[in-house]
């Protein structure tokens, strides 16, 4: 049977494991992109030379007075350099966007997982959120109130899984209202508006051509996402006392009883 400790530990481990992929991608890109520009430049120069030598393409460019414009060496260099700069810039934008979208999805998973932890440890805390739910009489006949409540909570969790990151975080705050001056993460303050801004960036990337412009402060946003995940974990811990089991976090087999 899956326990609250299982979910708590596995959620933390899953975030940390996936986070290593984001960091690896960004570290490699910092080294690789400058090298890529040097490696791609000759390829793009050759492509422009081939276009310039093609008589069909030579007719495309014209001067302002309508006369034919020759492919000068300066113009060919300008074109090939522009292509290289654009390709590298696009790659950087794609890496930033992928990092942010992946990180936001990881945080979303953490928030929902911690809501599941709350449901297992403190189902009574969910009662204000499910007590008004309707249920058919046939479904409750012969069942205890706790069993009915637990089923309603599972339905609420399934619905919450499809909701936005902010709604999951809002639910955690309602279930685990922190004490005054609660600050488990150094140099971090939870700001819902900032989390919403990061979520809006993700939305623009996916649904509104957000790749057209460079994303600003990506590294700061990623660091905020990482700390927010740890903050939410601390939020649940301060309410219910659930702890991380390293063996479950890193998916290691339990040691022999004799050990």
13 versus 62: which is more confidently predicted? 13
Does residue 256 contact residue 21 with C-beta atoms inside 8 Å? no
Which position has the token pair 């309508």?
66
Q: What percent of the chain has pLDDT over 90?
A: 62
Can you give the pTM of this predicted structure?
0.86
pLDDT per position as a tens digit, 82-141? 999 999 999 999 999 999 999 999 999 999 999 999 999 999 999 888 876 656 544 565
Does residue 100 contact residue 204 with C-beta atoms inside 8 Å? no
What is residue 209's predicted lDDT score, i.e. its pLDDT?
Answer: 75
CA distance 111 to 58: 58
What is the tally of helices (H) and strands (E) in the chain?
10, 0
CA distance 11 to 181: 26
202 has pLDDT over 70: yes
Q: What share of residues in the chain are helix, strand, coil (percent, to 5)?
A: 70, 0, 25
pLDDT per position as a tens digit, 18-67? 999 999 999 999 999 999 999 999 999 999 988 888 877 766 666 656 66
CA distance 170 to 48: 55
């Amino acid at each position: 049977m899956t326990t609250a400790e299982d979910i708590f530990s596995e959620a933390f481990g899953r975030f940390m494991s996936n986070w290593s992929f984001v960091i690896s991608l960004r570290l490699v890109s910092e080294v690789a992109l400058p090298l890529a520009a040097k490696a791609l430049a000759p390829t793009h120069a050759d492509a422009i030379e081939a276009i310039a030598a093609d008589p069909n393409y030579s007719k495309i460019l014209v001067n302002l007075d309508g006369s034919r414009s020759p492919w000068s060496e300066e113009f060919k260099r300008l074109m090939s350099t522009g292509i290289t700069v654009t390709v590298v810039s696009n790659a950087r934008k794609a890496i930033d966007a992928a990092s942010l979208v992946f990180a936001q999805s990881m945080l979303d998973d953490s928030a929902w997982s911690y809501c599941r932890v709350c449901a297992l440890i403190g189902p009574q805390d969910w009662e204000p959120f499910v007590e008004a739910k309707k249920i058919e009489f046939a479904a409750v006949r012969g069942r205890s109130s706790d069993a009915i409540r637990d089923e309603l909570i599972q339905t609420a969790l399934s619905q919450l899984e499809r909701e936005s990151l902010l709604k999951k975080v809002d639910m955690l705050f309602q279930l685990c209202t922190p004490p005054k001056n609660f600050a488990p993460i150094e140099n971090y303050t939870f700001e819902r508006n900032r989390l919403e801004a990061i979520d809006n960036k993700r939305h623009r990337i996916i649904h509104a051509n957000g790749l057209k412009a460079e994303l600003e402060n990506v590294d700061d946003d990623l660091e905020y996402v990482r700390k927010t995940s740890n903050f939410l974990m601390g939020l649940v811990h301060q309410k219910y006392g659930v702890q991380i089991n390293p063996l479950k976090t890193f998916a290691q087999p339990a040691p022999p009883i004799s050990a």
